[in-house]
Amino acid sequence: SIDFYIINKIIIRGNKRTKTDIIVRELSITEGEKLIKSRSFEIIEEEKRKIINTNLFNEVEIKIKSIGKNKIEIFINLIESLYVLPSIIFELSDRNFNDWWENFNHDLSRINYGAGLMHYNLSGRADILEFSFRGGFIREFYSSYYIPYISKKQKGGLELDFNFIDYDHLNFETNNHVPEFYKSKNSLQKEINSSIEYSHRESFYNYHYFIIEHNNFKINDTLKILNERYYLNRNIINSINVGYEFDRDFRDIKNYPLDGFRLNIQIKKNGLGIFNDINKWKTKIYYSNYFSLKNKKNFSFNFSSLYTSKNQPFLLYESLDKIRGFEKYLINGYSYLTFRNTLKRNVFSKTYSRDNDSFIKRIKNVPLNIYFKIFYDSGYIWKYKNQNNNFFLNNKYIFSYGIGFDIVSIKNISFSSELSRNSLNEFNLSFNLGADF
């Protein structure tokens, strides 16, 4: 018997706005090639995942139709997402819910508000245009345009960003890992940031990013009085920054991965000596692996490491708040190592089909998955040389463990609730959007 199919034709349907070549770019199969029968299901599922991970479609269905002997046709049926997303911004100015609730007594005046607009398929080529305005704790204008493919071979992309922020409430110091803020009638700090980034997609799974930025800070003298380590003796700071990032992403579903791995490496230099102001190096390594186990179980772990210049002003401090159970603490440090683990089991899975005449025609099926999980996180954060001494979480091994639930629905967007106990013997309840790591 013949152990392969010949792909006679690939038919793509449902992409009313998205250009066909953008979809074809994600496929490793082509018309006229042979498809090994024993691997056909595995290959088709991989093609489906790659299209889903573009985030351009609510639903992707791939079917095979036999047209005689060993020839087949492949039908790719798509339901496009809503690409224009206006938004009302109503968000916490603090790092997370626990920081706001515990450290700042759930003060409603610490809310940022505003409006935004995102079109993430502007020309049908997966290009993203975004604008947003914020008021409240900060006054901010942000704009960005990203086009993933500017070359005929569809390997190179370009992103342009512009951001203006004016602070009259500002975190000027950290004490006992709690950020301290100062409010003024005048502007405390103004930032203008602009950047251009070139991306190169080497293959389906490998990305390279090259970025050049210009940062401009205008600082009020009050900040230097509040914290002599906030910055040097300058009120206006300019810096040119350059960076490189490598990303190898083999995760099955990016929004909520259950299988595969991701490796990310970043190198950045703030200040090139042109303005004689900033001199900072930064390197970061991030690795996650995900495993599908028996009986609807999954295990995942993440290793991350950061190393930056040891002696920096407070304005340029790095921090860590990713270890579960320590959400309310802001742990500044020039270097850290973290290791996070999650074991989960799917305890509920169902898809709710909608009537084709439904008002929301772009959503045919609504999946709902609930996972119960247990986790263990740990890390070590080295303090800056010029940092205050009242930081009890630096230069020591910290850890946490706990349980939680993840709710996953349309486009694999997830909501998590977690109960943890940390190495300080504190219990912590947290709520988050997005996957663990």
State the chain's maximal CA–CA distance in angstroms.
83
Query: Which amino acid is present at 53?
Result: N
- Report yes or no: 328 and 103 within 8 Å, Cβ to Cβ: yes
> How far apart, in whole angstroms, are the C-alpha atoms of residue 14 and residue 23?
11
Chain segment 231-276, per-residue pLDDT in tens:
988 899 999 999 999 999 999 999 999 999 999 999 999 999 888 7
Chain segment 156-209, per-residue pLDDT in tens:
999 999 999 999 999 999 999 999 999 999 999 999 999 999 999 988 999 999
Closest to 298 in 3D by CA, of 310, 290, 308, 287: 290
> How far apart, in whole angstroms, are the C-alpha atoms of residue 218 and residue 10?
56
Per-residue buried b or exposed e for 324-334, using 16+ beta carbons within 10 Å of the residue's own CB: bbbbbbbbbbb
Per-residue pLDDT, 361? 66
pLDDT confidence band for 105 (50 / 70 / 90): very high
Does the pLDDT at position 426 exceed 60? yes
Q: Bigger pLDDT: 293 or 320? A: 293
Per-residue pLDDT, 389? 72
User: Taking the CA of residue 27 as centre, how many other CA atoms within 13 Å lie in the half-sphere pointing to its CB?
Assistant: 17
Q: Please list the residues that pair with 147 across neighbouring strands.
A: 158
Does the pLDDT at position 77 exceed 80? yes
Chain segment 328-338, per-residue pLDDT in tens:
999 999 999 99
Mean pLDDT, range 281-296, rounded to an integer: 97
> How far apart, in whole angstroms, are the C-alpha atoms of residue 378 and residue 437?
14
Helix (H) or strand (E) holding 237: strand 236-249
Q: What does the block give as tokens for 333?
A: 């440090």
The answer for 93, left when phi > 0, alpha when psi is -120 to 50, beta otherwise, is: alpha
Per-residue pLDDT, 230? 94
- The whole model's pTM is what? 0.91
- Report yes or no: 365 and 336 within 8 Å, Cβ to Cβ: no
Residue 300 to residues 60, 102, 432: CA-CA distances in angstroms? 26, 30, 18
> How far apart, in whole angstroms, are the C-alpha atoms of residue 21 and residue 193?
34
> How far apart, in whole angstroms, are the C-alpha atoms of residue 392 and residue 403?
25
> How far apart, in whole angstroms, are the C-alpha atoms of residue 173 and residue 224?
11
Closest to 280 in 3D by CA, of 320, 315, 251, 329: 315
> How far apart, in whole angstroms, are the C-alpha atoms of residue 158 and residue 199?
6
Per-residue pLDDT, 362? 72
Cα three-residue angle 184-185-189, rounded to 5 degrees: 60
354 contact partners, CB below 8 Å, separation of at least 6:
360, 363, 364, 365, 366
Does the pLDDT at position 387 exceed 90? no
Q: Burial level of 422, CB count in 10 A (0-12/13-18/19+)?
A: buried
> How far apart, in whole angstroms, are the C-alpha atoms of residue 348 and residue 345?
9
User: Taking the CA of residue 34 as centre, how many other CA atoms within 13 Å lie in the half-sphere pointing to its CB?
Assistant: 6
Question: How big is the chain by its Cα radius of gyration, in Å?
Answer: 24
- Report yes or no: 351 and 328 within 8 Å, Cβ to Cβ: no
DSSP string, 260-297: EEEEEEEEEEE--SSSS---EEEEEEEEEEEEE-STTE
pLDDT confidence band for 18 (50 / 70 / 90): very high
Query: Which amino acid is present at 186?
Result: N
Does the pLDDT at position 287 exceed 70? yes
User: Among residues of the chain, what percentage have pLDDT more than 70?
Assistant: 98
Per-residue pLDDT, 358? 52
Torsion of CA 427, 432, 282, 263, to 10 degrees: 110
Closest to 391 in 3D by CA, of 338, 326, 324, 339: 326
Mean pLDDT, range 94-116, rounded to an integer: 94
- Report yes or no: 77 and 14 within 8 Å, Cβ to Cβ: yes
